[in-house]
Amino acid sequence: MALSREMSNEQAFELVQTLLDGPENRFPLTFNSDLPRIRELFHAATRNQWDPKTDVAWDQLDPDSYTEEQRSAARLYWSRRAWSEYGAISESPVLQVRFGVEQRPSDMQLFFTIRSQEEARHAEVCHAMAERLGGYIDKPVQNLFQGSVATHGVRRAALNANIPLEGIIAALVCTAEEIAFDVFRHLDDVTRDPVAKQVVRLIMRDESRHCAFGWYFLEAICETLTDEQKGMIEESVVTMMEKVELNGYHSSWLAPESPASLAEVEADRITYEAGLGSTVEEVEKPVFIGTVQRIREQMKSLGINLPMFSHPKLGTI
Amino acid sequence: MQSANIKVSPPPLSLLVERRFPLEMNVTLPEIRELYDSGKAGRWNPHRDIDWNALSADGYDETTRQAARRTWSRLLWIEATGLTETPALIVRFCMESGREIDPKFFLTVRNTEEAWHIECFDRLAQAFGGRIARPADRAYENVFNRGLYRRVLDSNQSLDSYVAVHAAFEDGLELELCRTWRSNATNPAVAAVLDRVIGDKERHAAFGWLYLASRAPHWTDKERQLIASELAVHIQGTELRGYHCPWLAPEHAAVEAEADAITAAAGLGAASRGAEEDTLADYVGNARTRLAEFGVSLQTFETNRMRTF
């Protein structure tokens, strides 16, 4: 059944064959650390937990020092970031289920337990920012923008036994998360409000581990991959780039031009100029291009060759 | 590249289609949000916050060490359920329209805590001679291979009923059993582990019961009957088959039951059969009373392995 904005009160469902359709078989059960670098990420995350309620200097945020227009734009920006982080709350766990069903190294499951919690923290802190700036907004101002922020499609892919996990991780983690991480690093440079900057840094610290997970995993398995399998990974990354990233998932200015996306871009500009946490096309563009080029180089060293990508605002990168 | 070592067979899974917006993120269940907040505030680290040197596993005789490694391995098999079940439950909450944000946040913390428990239980099993990868009798494996992750994702499964059985009843029972084991534990490292686990499981059980309290006023009679029926199936098909208490199922869990008795006598984290029977009977009685307040009538259970409860 296709997803529709006009769904009836009776919630839609779909009948799908998934890799969950066989009986569970958890034995022999092992918790050996087959991927010790990923186990260490789990331990590092355990050591570096933080709490949006107590570890952010909320009293330093002074909404009254900003204009009504700036507060309004910033609350939309932080609401949109909350939607994006929320997406990970529902998509990170489904990958964890897959790790278990496929009996992947336990390090992956253990790390993802805390990764999902970190995504919850991120959603919580972004929601808190939006609330303090005038109130969280619970949906895109214009429905047309939903297509750019609603979902990666990861959940469906993660349950599909015909889509290799390696491709999902390469696309979701080594590509999308890597882009997100570089955006956060860039935001740390351009954000002036002390609380917005602190929030950006706290999220960025977690995201660095999320990215490392993906590369550690790919590096561990790349020598076992056939050319055909590498081709499938390339296809997954291309899909993530073309259908998600270049469609404006992380950067509104990349979304197809429409009244909805233009409104989001304008809100981003006002937020950026206020130093409250967003960015704009002209300063983010070189960061985005640099990230894509770095991902291409890093994947090339693993035998995964990405093509060039084209976008009206980026040219061919 | 590893492929899923799973034989795909019908029927296909009935998955809900998510409708994400409007996305409510304000607090609507404050008591559950408080559990989430207290979970974050109470964060701990298995490697830093337990004095593992106090375990002194070498100070026990070989028979006791072998029993303890089996007891803690079995508890590991149980706790490992959370590595697939909790994430699937989060996904279900996210996909079902109108479900609140507070349980979603809370469950992410629950899952991290389950991972810490796993690290502790694994470390205990390793210290006593090494983790045991599977039950002594292969027939016992079926009791653990419950496929809960698939069940909770299936849109034909009532989410409220699932929470009643697994988050309220089952997590509540685990909490009470942990308290019983703790009261019998004399080894300081084992006691410290159980203290941490109990602290976490108090929130896990509270979540289930609080969520039921928020939902119960809206249930129909049919939904209440469904919950009662699924609880009965769980108790008969899982608990009475030795999932938590192996002495209930000597036909396939005799080795594990014998190990528990030795571990309990050594104060290393189990309890006697009599103590566990009291805990189980008392807990089910209390749960029956609480469920009755929600209009759910839990039947009594008979088995030749313990008194009627």
Confidence (pLDDT) at A90: 84
Helices B30-41 and B188-215: crossing angle in degrees, nearest 10, is: 160
Q: What does pLDDT average to over chain A?
A: 91
Q: From CA A294, how far away is CA A288, in angstroms rounded? A: 10
Taking CA–CA distances from A217, the nearest residue in chain B reads B1
pLDDT per position as a tens digit, A154-211: 777 888 888 899 999 999 999 999 999 999 999 999 999 999 999 999 999 999 999 9
Split into its structural domains, chain B has a count of 1
Q: What are the chain B neighbours of A136 within 8 Å (beta carbons)? A: 25-26
Tokens encoding B175:
């909490």
Tokens encoding B174:
């685990």
Torsion angles phi and psi, residue A136, rounded to 5: -65, 140
Residue B16 lies in a domain: no
> By percentage, how much of chain A surpasses pLDDT 70?
92
pLDDT per position as a tens digit, A32-75: 999 999 999 999 999 999 999 999 999 999 999 999 999 999 99
Tokens encoding A138:
């619970």
**How would residue A147 be classed by pLDDT, with cut points 50, 70 and 90?**
low
Confidence (pLDDT) at A4: 41
What is the radius of gyration, based on Cα positions, of chain B? Answer: 20
Confidence (pLDDT) at A239: 92
**Subunit contact B13:A17, Cβ cutoff 8 A:** yes
Asked if A222 is an interface residue toward chain B (Cβ–Cβ < 8 A), one would say no
Residue B181 lies in a domain: yes
Taking CA–CA distances from B114, the nearest residue in chain A reads A113
Report whether pLDDT(B1) > 70.
no
Residue A14 lies in a domain: no
Report whether pLDDT(A257) > 90.
no
Confidence (pLDDT) at B2: 53
* Nearest residue, CB atoms, B13 vs list A18, A28, A104: A18
Closest to B27 in 3D by CA, of B141, B107, B105: B105
Q: Is B13 helix (H, G, I), strand (E, B) or coil?
A: strand
Report whether pLDDT(A6) > 50.
no
Over residues B273-302, mean pLDDT: 98
**Subunit contact B84:A164, Cβ cutoff 8 A:** no
* Domain span at A78: 36-47+64-316
Residue A1 lies in a domain: no
Residue A3 lies in a domain: no
**Residue whose entry in the numeric block shows the structure tokens 């990970």:** A88
| B200 in Cβ contact with B163 (< 8 Å) | no
Terminal-to-terminal C-alpha distance of chain A: 36
Report whether pLDDT(A151) > 70.
no
Tokens encoding A98:
């897959």
**How would residue B17 be classed by pLDDT, with cut points 50, 70 and 90?**
confident
Report whether pLDDT(B211) > 80.
yes
Convert A234-245 to b/e letters by CB count within 10 Å (16 or more is b). bebbeebbeebb
| B219 in Cβ contact with B295 (< 8 Å) | yes
Longest dimension (CA), chain B: 61
Confidence (pLDDT) at B66: 98
DSSP of B53-101: GGG-GGGS-HHHHHHHHHHHHHHHHHHTTHHHHHHHHHHHHHHSTT--H
Identify the residue with better confidence: A243 or A5: A243
Residue B157 CB neighbour total at 10 angstroms: 16
* Domain span at B118: 30-34+45-293
DSSP of B137-166: SGGGHHHH---HHHHHH-TTS-HHHHIIII
In a 13 Å sphere around the CA of A47, the CA atoms on its Cβ side amount to 9
Q: What ipTM does this complex have? A: 0.95
Q: From CA A73, how far away is CA A90, in angstroms rounded? A: 27
Q: What are the chain B neighbours of A113 within 8 Å (beta carbons)? A: 83, 86-87, 111-112, 114-115
Residue B7 lies in a domain: no
Closest to A88 in 3D by CA, of A126, A118, A110: A118
**Residue A140 belongs to domain with CATH number:** 1.20.1260.10
**Subunit contact B21:A140, Cβ cutoff 8 A:** yes
Residue A139 DSSP code:
S
* Nearest residue, CB atoms, A20 vs list B37, B40, B149: B149
pTM of the model: 0.95
Residue B3 CB neighbour total at 10 angstroms: 11
**Residue B196 belongs to domain with CATH number:** 1.10.620.20
Measured CA to CA in angstroms, residue B25 lies from A53, A59, A136, A172, A243 at distances of 15, 22, 8, 24, 27
pLDDT per position as a tens digit, B72-82: 999 999 999 99
Closest to A113 in 3D by CA, of A88, A90, A96: A96
Confidence (pLDDT) at B8: 46
pLDDT per position as a tens digit, A78-132: 999 999 999 999 889 999 999 999 999 999 999 999 999 999 999 999 999 999 9
Residue A23 lies in a domain: no
| A130 in Cβ contact with A82 (< 8 Å) | yes
Over residues B214-238, mean pLDDT: 98
pLDDT per position as a tens digit, B181-191: 999 999 999 99
Residue B271 lies in a domain: yes
Confidence (pLDDT) at B31: 98
Residue B73 lies in a domain: yes
Report whether pLDDT(B284) > 70.
yes
Confidence (pLDDT) at A1: 36
Residue B151 lies in a domain: yes
Split into its structural domains, chain A has a count of 1
Residue A177 DSSP code:
I
